[in-house]
Amino acid sequence: MVRRGKFTKILPSALYERYELHCKEYCEYFWQRFKLSPIDFGVGIKLKVYLDSWIVGDECGYQQANGDIIQKHGIIANDMWIHWLDRDSHMIYYDKENPRIEVEIYRYRHPKEQFRNEQLEKEAIKEAKKKNKTIKE
């Protein structure tokens, strides 16, 4: 934590920053190569974390870190759209020879999608009424 006057900020660890930089190349390669826009709807993500030792962090931390990273590098528009999937299995495994993280992204309807669509529809109707009113005048 760093304090600047009245404000306090939590800084990420050096390990997280190295991991984020490592992921940047992969995230941008796939998304920018195919000129894909960030996903702006509900997704289900399944993580498999293969560690090279039995020193294990908490699953929530792995999920938050990976959600932040794929948002920062333009794969998803907002990490609020993520529903974490486990498919009744653990997400942490041991592989000393090949530590890695595997990410699978699926379409998964988010409850807020319907709300957002209704709001956009209301705004479109309002704009259409405003446009018709200016045309009549």
- Token pair belonging to 126: 């309002």
First to last CA, the chain: 59
3-state secondary structure of 95: coil
Superfamily grouping for domain 2-110:
Holliday junction resolvase RusA (3.30.1330.70)
- 73, exposed or middle or buried, with CB in 10 Å at 0-12, 13-18, 19+? buried
> How do residues 117-130 score in pLDDT, each as one tens digit?
899 999 999 988 88
Q: Can you give the pTM of this predicted structure?
A: 0.75
> Cα 95 to the chain's mean position, in Å?
25
- Residue 46 banded pLDDT, cuts 50, 70, 90: very high
Domain ranges of the chain: 2-110
